[in-house]
Structure 1
Amino acid sequence: MNPKKAFSYLFSVIAAVLLWLFFAPTTLGGSVAYVILIGNSMEPTFHRYDLVLTRAESSYQVGDAVAYEHPMIGGVFHRIVDTNGERFVMQGDNNDWLDTHEPTEDEIVGKLWLHVPGGGKVINFLRQPAMFTVLALGVGVMLVGSLTGKDSEQSTTERRKMMQRRRPAAREVLTFEQHVNVLAAKPETKQSMTEPKPEERKTLRELITRAPDEIETLPTAVQKHFWETQPSNRPELAATAVPLEDIEPKVKAKQGEVRDNALEMLIAASVVTLVFVGLALVAFLRPLTVMADVPMNYTQKAAYTYTANVPSGVYDGATVQPGEPVFRRLADSFTVYLTYDLGSPYSTEVRGLYRMVVEIADISGWKRTVEIVPDTYFSGREFEMQGTIEFSEIQALIDRLEEDTGLLRTDYQMTVRTEVTVLGSLDGVEFENVYTPELIFGFDDLQVQLAKSPPNADNPFEQVTIGSVPREMEQENVINILGMEIGVRTARVVSLVGSLVMLMAVAYLGTQVYHAFQRGEASQVEVLYGPLMVKVSEDVLPRKRPVKVSSVHELAKIAERDQCMIYHVQSGGLHRYYVQSPVTPEVSYIYELRVAPDDESGAA
């Protein structure tokens, strides 16, 4: 293998390894997940149908945009906004609420690596049956080209240059006219031999189209004239010689002639056909549809607010507004309001119970719960409720704790919690859910103040959670091909069209190859060794010491071993095949083939 080809192979291997390391999908054991966004929760940076590539990392930090598996709704691409022990708190950039599921590190698929705006549209477009068929056929054509294009990648001129660089000595031949011109210009040449007689000059002219081993049958003067005027024996003739490598091949393709790489194309087309047939077997052995649980999503939204009546002068008005502290010297209680709404694109029937409680707790873990609103029945997708919290009742619980235990705390945490038990149905599928939105306050001797909200929460009063109800539905079956899910229906169309097209190609190429083999041995040689052959005109023949080989197959072995071409000269029904190896520059390997007149029309 020459250095250039070795470098090419090495580069290909390195490129393949790098592509695998950087882009191999997780479904094939790689570290990259391909995510097509279908919502607007990450706007304005990420939009619907953008393509996001994520890579698995050893650790993740607050602020990372990651893809993770939600147990109810599947894959989600959101940002880490906080941590909760070993779990991550997630939120969409465009959402006012936190994700209901807090994934562990094992549930995170990967961190944002590449962002391709609109890339999902391209992938969805290519997944359509018509486009995927065209794409698959294109890949098949490229595969055929790659399997048959090894010899065509390097032009004949490049091959001749490569051979010329490797040869230790030049290989020149003289035409008959050049022999005559040299004899006229070189007196010493005339003195060194007997000039051919007119009849011998005619014989010498015929020699140009005859095999070198026939020289021995010619008159002695003609033989001497021919051999002594060869550049390999007469260096002074080299300046007027014509190198065989510099002669432009005259390739004349006849009608019905098989092209150089027809056999290779037939083999490659057969391989691609088998691939399409295999895909067809897989596609038709699988059902078009399968029964699967499809999630029907719904959202529950709770909007809190609170107020208290106070004397004028401290606040802007006579009531405390949401977000303001409630000073206990000015108010003995405050009222908390909640509006609930369940939304879903599916037909919904909702009923259930709600109640409100307040929980007082300290840092040690002690807590007491007081019911503010008892269990109340509701029907419909939304309701409103309110509850009044008496500070004296809460303070009594604290005083009892401190008196009985001797503990003295300066502040406590007060949590207002609404417990909503939902009994309903989505599209006729029954479900049950318990939703518990909370509002947290700090409670001390002077005031009741809303607890500091998380930095990611734009509105701590509104809380939204997403749920889903599984419904068994019939959906299209898929086939996983190199990490890409293709519908069985699409795979059937692609495999049938691909198989039909490739079978037509195989039939056409097979017919051409068959007819070529039927035309005789010369045409068979063209089919089998066309990529190694260069057709040259009759007035150009290598004039080294001839060495006959027993078959064209042996000649091809020499050409392939020494990386050189087979020169083909046709004179009537006589075909001569020559190889001038750089390993043995002093000889020409020759194979001759005579065909019957009836076969000449098919031999190229």
Structure 2
Amino acid sequence: MAQRLTYRLRTAVLAVVAVLGACVGVVLATGQAGIVITHGVSMNPLYHQGDLVIIARASSYTVGDIAAYNLPGRDEVALHRIIGGNDAAFVFKGDNNQSVDPITPPAADLVGRSLVHIPQGGLWLETLTSPPILGLLAFALLAGGGAATTRHRRKRRRASMSRHISTRPPARQGLGGLPPSLRIPTALAAVFGVAGVILGALAWSGPLEETASSQVKSGTRMNFSYTADVGQSAAYDGTTAKSPGPVFRKLARTVDVGYSYHGEPGTVTVTAELSTPGGWHSTLPLSGPVTIDGSDYEGSVRLDLASLDAKAQAASAVTGLPAGPVSVALTPAVRTAAGAEFRPELKLELTPLQLTLPGGPGSLAVTDSATQEHTALVPRMVGVSGLTVTAAAARVISAVFLLAALATGIIILVFARRSTPADEAAAIRRRYAALLVRVHPMPAPQGRPVIDVTTFPTLAKLAERYGLLVLHWSRSGVETFVVQDENITYRYRAGSEPAQVEPQPEPADSQA
């Protein structure tokens, strides 16, 4: 009973390990989870170079989460902390960085949230998934089968050199020759081994990345704001008028317009175009050109409302066209180092009473909606029967499969060697079924010496050496196995010690 319980427990443990390994592979393959190997120092002291972080997709993300998003044009992800924003655009920043990330991805574009952190685990994973280690694992899985084939060939060569030629077929044990408790784990180990070798071959047969072309929207944008010092009055709650509200000219003569740029480095020049309903227009330079060294720049200009109104009145006096209202289009034009030009506009309306924002709050943010042809390296996809994963993930999954197969095989080998069947005769019949011939009890031939061997494998070797079969019968609880050569009978008995079984005269009519 204890041995049966041990077999069942062993089978259950191996099955659970196998199922867990398969689940991990499926989760990685479907993209619900991923593995990130950290580089750089942007998340020190939490993460260091070479750490392994397991990320998983989440239904929602909040400020304070550590999440990953894809970097445009690169086969990499950024793993930083969310410090602001919402599902439409999250703001990220590395714990060890001085500035926020220039990319603000929405929740739908996030790869996943940090789930498990393994210090220096990335270094171990890169080592285990290297070609030499994968080759060694594949060799270890196939070595057992190769060794068995070699032993079988050697036995056949020895049999062909003996005095008798055996015509019996070779023994084919397969899974049926294993104890029932080890058949399922052995089958799972074989499946994992084959899947790991096939997936590894697909993953290592090409590069991790391949070139792909796509239409990519520009991420260049400009945010506007304006303020005016209006003093203490009943028109405003404080002493400053702010966008997008109106600025009453009776309380303020000047308005400061700020602009915040995010995009490629270059130069910025700010102008204001004045126009009236009658068709008059004029362009006024306000500042620049100013060099933008990085991807972010903030600047401001001051509008003298009286001066702008006076210019429109002077033109009206000459042309006879109406002087108001005056439309003011403020344009911080950016020319990048590559020659591209971005010309966002902030449209204001100036009347004798106030300065207003006719476009509402939405006009304070301008994003470049132009698309451009973009060629970049993207992860190479591999797969079988419609199930595809990246080549990098396939290498990891293949290593997991091979390790699971190797570990399961080692466990099976250890338990198989330690497991000795309680019924020795049953074990002999199961293992050497193709070598045995069951007969009726036979008498010892007169004048022929009988030699008792100590182990059945010795008797089996003698049979194979001479190209003979092993005769087998059972009597009084004793299993007898004999090999009859021309002059000698070799015998092995199982079930009791040979010394306890005295030779008995056999009936004359017994036959094979």
The normalised TM-score by structure 1 is: 0.38
The normalised TM-score by structure 2 is: 0.44
Q: Which structure would you say has the larger Rg?
A: 1
